[in-house]
Chain A
Amino acid sequence: MIRLKDVSKVYEGATVAVRDVSLDIQKGEFVFLVGPSGSGKSTLIRLLLREEAVTHGVIWVAGKDITRLPTWKVPYLRRSIGTVFQDFKLLPRKTVAENVAFTLEVLGRPRSVIGPQVGQVLELVGLADKTDRYPRQLSGGEQQRVSIARAFVNRPPILLADEPTGNLDPATSVGIMKLLDRINRTGTTIVMATHDHAIVDAMQRRVVQLESGSVVRDEASGRYETMSEVP
């Protein structure tokens, strides 16, 4: 589903964010990207979304080399990838339903399809009774649920999550992770960058650890830290 080969990203000023990363992520996998701040987790997510261009290497998403994608085709790539961010990135002047519907509006879906599909996904994330609220009227956990609903409403094959629980308390984080787990069970590939030890340890999914931009560990059913690192 996602393949990275010798991918590197160097920012202006010669800061190496990602160095020679090669990864294969299969369809339906749930992959945690872990590592300290500045290790390159978020940059990797940004490269997958083509928010950044690679300095070297190739990234294939669903069999397509996205590093050679012309700028005008980038929106098409993003429509096939759902994205959840730490700061939710909701449109502040749209209601919950409008935020979720926006993804489908972009795709040009007819209104007869948008209404039921939005209702369905809001039911899934437990916000069916808050469709007319604005983001500022919701708690952090609720905003993140809206963000997940928006990312999942068009049933994308891939969902990228960049620290989705970073701004949430532990109890709310558990709810969000349950939701992501549920989405993953529908066959959606999930790549999630996180700092949250408890979540990674509890989920027991594939863990890719980054340090200074390089992959230092890739375990199929891992924990946040290797056993040798646990004091």
Chain B
Amino acid sequence: MNRVSYLVREAFVNLRRNALVVTGAILAVFISLSFAFGALVVNELVRVNTVAWQQGVHIIAFLKDESDAGIGSDAHAALFSELLTWEEVKTAVYFDKADAFREAQEILPPDILSEIDPSILPASLRVELHDIDLYQNVQFRLVGSPVVRKVVSLGDRIEALSSLSRVLNRLGLGLALVLGFGAVVLIANTIRMAIYARRDEVAIMKLVGASNGFIRVPFFIEGMLEGLLGAALAVIVVWAFSRNLADAGEALPLFNFTLRDSFFYRWGILFLIFGGAAGLIGSVVGLRRFLREADGARPVVGRRVLEEV
């Protein structure tokens, strides 16, 4: 217990005595993780908005009249029932001719509407999919049905939106990964610099019998605290920035800038853990080679070489 409290005390003393280097390390972590967390926030905003844009009717199948030759009197109901059993289909609504006319009344101006014969408006099936990427499967099957007159889908727009979302997702995650890795490297370098500045001190500690573990622990605690503090700052700043963005973006109807608090809690905790772990890994990497060198030389030659010299 005495040793543990000594090592923790040592870590805090080191933090205080190396304030400049420590501040540098914290800022390095803060900057890297801010960008990484920011990339995740942008990624989440794109995802949330993509999902919102993707909700609604994805495919409309206009149907032939049941009075047409070769179409049975219950053909529409049969196709509708079958459609509901397809696993890609989330929901489907049947619009009969009367529904179609009511819709036309809502959309079209009265002068044009007066020219339209309600009987020529086709019945239709409005389909919402579980996964819009699968729209082509459903479209293909509908086109093959003898009841279907024409299929209209949001195909191009769906594909463009999906691919944009995918690219942005990958970009965001890739950026977060690269910047996260950058944070580890920065901490490792900073800790290595801190150790290099204290190499004589570490060598003396070893000479008076300090084990590698005894020397390492304060550096580990130091690295972990630096990582944690940097990550905490990054989470707070990105959260505050995101809140401001949400307030400022309320006036924009097309894009939703508001993210759920649960997103910040989940990722905030993960970033704190990552910051602490990055600090720890940085310290381990920074110390490993140095302590190995300080452990003393191994025998380089044996008896035979000795006789030769």
Interface residues of A (CB under 8 A from B): 8, 10-12, 14, 16, 49-56, 71-72, 74-79, 83, 89-93, 102-103, 105-111, 150-151
Contacts and interface: CB of A to CB of B under 8 A. Distances in A.
A182 to B, nearest CB: 21
A12 B208 contact: no
Given A53-B298, A74-B296, A93-B17, A10 B306 contact: yes
Given A8-B306, A111-B2, A150-B208, A55 B300 contact: yes
A75 B296 CA distance: 12
- Contact-size category for B: 20 to 34
A51 B207 contact: yes
A89 B295 contact: no
A79 B3 CA distance: 16
Q: Taking each of A75, A76, A106, A107, which has the highest tally of chain B beta carbons within 10 Å of its own beta carbon?
A: A75
Given A55-B299, A83-B207, A83-B208, 6 more contacts: A10-B309, A56-B302, A75-B214, A77-B209, A102-B208, A106-B208
Identify whether the interface residues of B are mostly helix, strand, loop, or mixed.
Answer: helix
Interface stretch (B43-51, B154-162, B198-206): B198-206
A172 B297 CA distance: 35
A46 B296 CA distance: 10
Contacts of A106: 205, 208-211, 214
B201 A74 contact: no
A8 B302 CA distance: 10
A77 B211 CA distance: 11
Contacts of B306: 8, 10, 16, 55-56
Contacts of A53: 296-299
A108 B208 contact: no
B305 interface: yes
B301 interface: yes
Nearest to B309: A14
Given A75-B210, A93-B17, A108-B2, A102 B205 contact: yes
Contacts of B2: 108-111
B78 to A, nearest CB: 80
B260 interface: no
A89 B3 contact: no
Contacts of A8: 306
Contact of B302 (A55, A72, A109): A55
Contact of A51 (B6, B296, B300, B309): B296
B36 to A, nearest CB: 34
B207 A10 contact: no
A83 B204 CA distance: 10
Closest 7 CB pairs of A and B: A79-B209, A78-B209, A75-B211, A14-B309, A53-B299, A108-B3, A89-B204
Contacts of A91: 201, 204-205
